[in-house]
Chains A and B, each alone.
Chain A
Amino acid sequence: MISNKLTSVICDELNLRTDSVEINDNTEASEVPGWDSLNHANIIVAIEKKYGVRFKGLEILKCKNIGDLQKLVESKTVESK
């Protein structure tokens, strides 16, 4: 389940309204309007800032969909606590 916080960071970065897009665990980046290979890095940096965490390169590359990204964020926030 994708949290409202993660959805809103993604939507803010892509100038989307949160109610205009449906993001679930299996949604892939390419399925989100505007999320292309060029602004991918900006979205990742925005998520890191919002949650106050830092991902390893390999951790991000292993994410196949937004569900994996949500799990990664959760694992990092648990670690930092």
Chain B
Amino acid sequence: MFNIDFNKIPSLLSFDLNDPLLFSSSLFLFLFFFLLIFYRLFANSKNASILLLITFSLYFYYKVSGLFFLLLIFNAIANFYFGKWMWNAAGQVQKRGILILSLVFNLGVLGYFKYMNFFLEFASNIHGGSFDSIDIILPIGISFYTFKSLSYIIDIYLETIRPTNSFRDFSLFVFFFPNILAGPIDRASKFLPQIERDYHITRNDIAMGLMLIMMGLVKKIMIADYIGLNFIDRVFEVPLRFTGVENLFAVYGYTLQLYCDFSGYTDIAIGISLLLGFKLMENFNYPFKAKSISNFWRRWHISLSTWLLDYVFRPLQISFRYLGIVGNVASLIITFVLIGFWHGGSWAFIIWGLLHGVYMSVGLITSRPKLNIYKKLKLTNTRLLGFGQIFLTFNLVAFSFLFFRADSFKTATNILHQILFFFKPEVFLQFAVGYTPTFFLLVFGFLFHFLPSSLFDRSVIILEKTPFVIQALLLSIVIWIVLQVQYADLQPFIYFQF
């Protein structure tokens, strides 16, 4: 009855660079289904269920990263002992020494894999010599799990948490497969206590988990991959072949693509975690509804922005506190340049971060005068003002992502040139007709984003009351529809490269 091809088993267990295990692949969904069954069966034994999760997480990481899983294990061992050692240190000087040591270790490993070529090129440019890049493969997810481990160490240093005595629990925190590749960058203080709790999921958790998985698949495969491959990539490749209309839509489209790709991944990560009984931190909260850049950063990649807020911005701001507004501006610029640099050793990311630092600083300096102007013009709390703020914020964000996406500064300026000096409004209709599915998905994607968030909550409540069989059927239908729309091979998630 079942035709099992045993020859395929070795390939299931081995690493293939060209065939990583993606959340959106049918193999992953299949394996996850069996993981859930065994996890449920082992629910009465904490040790067995946690060891199952750790084993699956390491297998998952091995499937996407090969032997780099050894580096991951090394990271967990080192940080587990750094944490213990720091907590038991006799005085503040010793604690500080251990903190510096752990920072050197974590950032040193990250720096070697991620920034070595950038620094070498920078150094050779200063000396005027030639530069041959070193062939270094970036271990996938290293920025995410390094930041996760660092938050544990820094929190112990700040005495906001106590180190765990269980290497088993700490390993699960570092290895946890749903968030290891692209976040959310969870905090140990929120995650570790969940391991000790008994496995218990409510009907609401199941409904929310399924809803998020379905949303994530639709966002990633139906919207992000489709508009990326069929339209945005083409425009960004040769912008001068298109008018300002297509270029503008490509810039807006990329902003939507990045959001759908990254938040789609996060939705699936949070959804599958919920089914395993873990609540991961929120990473996106309708970012294009933001009325200011500071509000945008409370809605976009929240786990990274709060990480840098807690561990970079706050210490800097406190150190510069006697400088008044200059201190705040300096702290903002440094923090946002680091947010850019976190994405990779490239000037494009640094410019992108700097741009956001400048946006934030201008927002801070003009916050009082702006309020006075709104008051004088009687615009305070009006819909018109709200719409204007959302529109402006979105355009500032889209402009910054232009530098994030373009493969060179020249491409970015070509796109801007086309939008500003070769804008042919009459092409709009041709675009809508020529790229109908893309146009439809762009409109659908943005409209969907601006629907009231209560609609999502209500849908979860309806799903919660739906019988399990119907829930499973619904999930199957969504997977089937998504597979029909799937245009080509599965595209890796954009944030895997960071």
Does B347 have its Cβ within 8 Å of any Cβ on chain A?
A: no
Contacting residues, chain B, for A45 (C-beta < 8 A):
321-322
* Nearest CB of B to A42, in Å: 8
Tell me the bound Cα distance from A57 to B314 in angstroms: 9
Contact A62/B328 with A40-B314, A57-B315, A57-B318 known, Cβ cut-off 8 Å: no
* Nearest CB of A to B292, in Å: 12
* Nearest CB of B to A63, in Å: 10
Contacting residues, chain A, for B321 (C-beta < 8 A):
41-42, 44-45
**Chain A 25-75 residues near chain B, CB threshold 8 A:** 37-38, 40-42, 44-45, 57-58, 60-62, 64
Cβ B159 vs Cβ A37 within 8 A: no
Cβ A37 vs Cβ B318 within 8 A: no
The secondary structure that dominates the B interface is helix
Contact A37/B319 with A61-B158, A62-B158 known, Cβ cut-off 8 Å: no
Number of interface residues of B (CB under 8 A): 19
Cβ B313 vs Cβ A60 within 8 A: no
Does B309 have its Cβ within 8 Å of any Cβ on chain A?
A: yes
| Closest residue on chain A to residue B363 by CB atoms | A38
Cβ A41 vs Cβ B327 within 8 A: yes
Contact A61/B294 with A37-B309, A41-B328 known, Cβ cut-off 8 Å: no
Does B160 have its Cβ within 8 Å of any Cβ on chain A?
A: yes
B294's partner among A38, A41, A62 (CB-CB below 8 A) is A38
Contacting residues, chain A, for B313 (C-beta < 8 A):
37
| Closest residue on chain B to residue A36 by CB atoms | B294
Of the listed residues B294, B315, B318, B322, the one surrounded by the most CB atoms of chain A closer than 10 A to its CB is: B318
B328's partner among A38, A44, A58 (CB-CB below 8 A) is A38
Cβ B319 vs Cβ A57 within 8 A: yes
Contacting residues, chain A, for B92 (C-beta < 8 A):
58
Given contacts A41-B317, A41-B320, 8 further A-B contacts (CB under 8 A): A38-B364, A40-B314, A40-B317, A41-B327, A41-B328, A57-B315, A57-B319, A60-B318
A-B contact pairs, 8 of them (CB 8 A): A38-B364, A45-B321, A57-B315, A58-B92, A58-B158, A61-B314, A61-B315, A62-B160
User: Residues of B at under 8 Å CB distance from A?
Assistant: 92, 158-160, 294, 309, 313-315, 317-322, 324, 327-328, 364
